Amino acid sequence: MPELSYLEAIRQALWQEMKRDERVFLLGEDIGRYGGAFGLTHGMLDEFGEERVRETPISEATIVATAIGASLLGMRPVAEIMFMDFILLALDQMVNQAAKMHFMFGGRTSVPMVVRMPGGSGSGAASQHSQSLESVLMHFPGLIVINPSTPYDAKGLMLSAIRNPNPVCFVEHKILYKTKGEVPEDDYTIPIGVAEIKRPGRDITVVANNIMVIKTIHVAEKLSKEGIEVEVIDPRTLLPLDTKTIIDSVARTGRLLVVHEACQTGGWAGEVIASVVGSPAFDYIDAPVRRLGGKDIPIPYNRGLEMAAVPQEAEIEQEIRALVGGKI
């Protein structure tokens, strides 16, 4: 199977879907000649032309509003928000318009658009270009929030996102862009709202998203050599959240840790934990249920401080050891 990077996998999904469906088009800042801030749309202007790869003014509200209008008229727009941090400028369009139209018009219309947005820290881009705002977007019914961790999931979920009739926030992670993995050339989709057990284990369930999945798997592989078996669950879609897979897992392992880069306070770990402790898995919980989120501070520019602001492998390992060893 061909190996692609996370970035190439998303580009391949866009490319193939634009070939397959002429309603699909791209819009965003600098996505044409420049190929996008991370080069994700590189080459697409030459292939598909200015009609289908549209450069926009620097106005996120305009980008999302244009995508909404186009989708109402039967197109399948895929908009790029250069950094996830800027989605806040378009939040009114996203939340008060896109998320609600299907319901306020009695189901007679829908907004089948995808808004791509790279988030996350680790690139030295400082506070205004490094946030993980997926927990914010999860709070709005009517939206779908997708958050892939591997190239394979990124392509399959992007194809599902474009074909889904709802507005989708497709949250990418800029540090994952260069990670590689096997990606089939074919057209395949991954269902929205279905979590995946990335690694089975009997001792503790760790739920993590995007880059934290990769970090947790590294830790799990290390601990496995000592006989500690960590089950790693990647929700893949945060809204709707597949709580069943998580609840079933905790009922087996009796322990739960949720890891995310988003700030801990108000982060989606709280949502996962509340779902689990209120479920029948409660009677199987045998240790405190814990979360490990980003520190409640703006992401610093300083390299060392930036690393310290979000969970790293050492901290994940420490948390797992403490929970499994009965030390917390």
Partner 1 sequence: MPVPFIMPKFDMDQEKATIISWSKKEGDFVKFDESVLTVETEKVAIDVPCPATGTLARILFKDGDVVPVTKVIAYILKEGETLADLPNADLPTPPSKPEVVPVSKPVAAPQAAPVTATPIAIRMAKEEGVDLSRVPASGDRITREDVERFISDQKSKGRVTVAATPAARRVARESGVALETVAGSGPRGRVQSVDVVTAAKSIPVPTTTVSGREAEIVPLTSIRRTIAERMQQSFQESPHIALTVEVDMTEAENTRKRFNTQVEKLGQPRITVTALMIKVVAWALVRNPYMNASFNGNSISLWKDVNIGVATAAPQGLMVPVLKGVDHLGVSEINMRLLDLAERARENKLKLEDVQGGTFTISNLGMFGIRQFRAVINPPESAILAVGSVVRQPIVVDEQDRVEVRPILSLTLSADHRVIDGIVAARFLSDLVVGLEAPSMLLL
211 close to 176: Cβ distance less than 8 angstroms: yes
Residue 286 or 296 with smaller CB distance to partner 1: 286
Half-sphere exposure of 276 (CA within 13 A, CB side): 30
Residue 15 or 284 with smaller CB distance to partner 1: 284
Of 102, 129, 173, 260, the catalytic one is 129
Segment interacting with partner 1 (CB under 8 A) among 74-82, 121-129, 279-287, 306-314? 279-287
271 close to 138: Cβ distance less than 8 angstroms: yes
As a whole number of angstroms, the distance between CA 223 and CA 321 comes to 9
Backbone angles phi, psi at 239, to 5 degrees: -140, 115
Residue of 46, 286, 298, 314 interacting with partner 1 (CB under 8 A):
286
As a whole number of angstroms, the distance between CA 36 and CA 116 comes to 12
Interaction between residue 228 and partner 1 (CB under 8 A)? no
User: Least separation, in Å, of the C-beta of 123 and partner 1?
Assistant: 39
Residue of 53, 183, 287, 316 interacting with partner 1 (CB under 8 A):
287
Residue 235 or 254 with smaller CB distance to partner 1: 254
Catalytic, 129? Answer yes
Residue of 74, 107, 227, 326 interacting with partner 1 (CB under 8 A):
326
As a whole number of angstroms, the distance between CA 69 and CA 167 comes to 12
Interaction between residue 284 and partner 1 (CB under 8 A)? yes
Output Rg (C-alpha) for the chain, integer angstroms.
Answer: 20
User: Helix, strand, or coil here: 69?
Assistant: helix
User: Least separation, in Å, of the C-beta of 288 and partner 1?
Assistant: 8
Query: Tokens for 320?
Result: 């797992």
User: Least separation, in Å, of the C-beta of 283 and partner 1?
Assistant: 4
Interaction between residue 297 and partner 1 (CB under 8 A)? no
Site string for partner 1, 234-273 (x = CB under 8 A): --------------------x-------------------
User: Least separation, in Å, of the C-beta of 327 and partner 1?
Assistant: 6
Segment interacting with partner 1 (CB under 8 A) among 50-58, 107-115, 180-188, 284-292? 284-292
User: Least separation, in Å, of the C-beta of 208 and partner 1?
Assistant: 23
162: part of which helix (H) or strand (E)? helix 151-163
Residue of 282, 302, 305, 307 interacting with partner 1 (CB under 8 A):
282
As a whole number of angstroms, the distance between CA 287 and CA 319 comes to 12
As a whole number of angstroms, the distance between CA 162 and CA 5 comes to 20
As a whole number of angstroms, the distance between CA 204 and CA 268 comes to 19
As a whole number of angstroms, the distance between CA 168 and CA 193 comes to 12
Residues that bind partner 1 (CB under 8 A): 254, 282-287, 326-328
Catalytic residues: 129
